[in-house]
């Protein structure tokens, strides 16, 4: 495992990641599989989560994230369908994809407007 300390976050390359995922963010720690390294879009997505954790705090983030996930599961959606409907995931993916070509990766402490 490699540890990279960057402006506003720590990236763990080869760290623990749930099955089926390429990365996971907990607070200001991003754990990423080696195959995800080099994807600016993936890192932008995870940095949105770093910002969400900062804005919402531990309890706020966990309640919104898991509350939404379980609400979709209770409606009968399978795991990945429920996951894709979590508003915090939708926001992270939208912002990661909305960056203009060549935008690179912003520092975690910067606002979301590129």
All structural domains of the chain with their residue ranges: 1-96
Give CA–CA dist 9/102, Å, rounded: 21
> For 54-94, what is each residue's pLDDT tens digit?
999 999 999 999 999 999 999 999 999 999 999 999 999 99
- The DSSP line for 84-101 is HT-HHHHHHHHHHHHSPT
> For 22-58, what is each residue's pLDDT tens digit?
999 999 999 999 999 999 999 999 999 999 999 999 9
């Amino acid at each position: 495992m490699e540890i990279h300390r960057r402006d506003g976050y720590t990236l763990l390359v080869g760290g623990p990641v749930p099955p089926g995922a390429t990365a996971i963010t907990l607070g200001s720690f991003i754990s990423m599989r080696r195959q995800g390294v080099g994807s600016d879009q993936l890192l932008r997505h995870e940095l949105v989560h770093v910002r969400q954790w900062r804005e919402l705090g531990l309890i706020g983030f966990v309640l919104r994230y898991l509350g939404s996930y379980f609400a979709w599961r209770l409606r009968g959606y399978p795991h990945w369908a429920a996951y894709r409907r979590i508003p915090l995931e939708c926001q992270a993916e939208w912002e990661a994809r909305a960056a203009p070509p060549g935008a690179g990766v912003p520092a975690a402490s910067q606002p979301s407007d590129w």
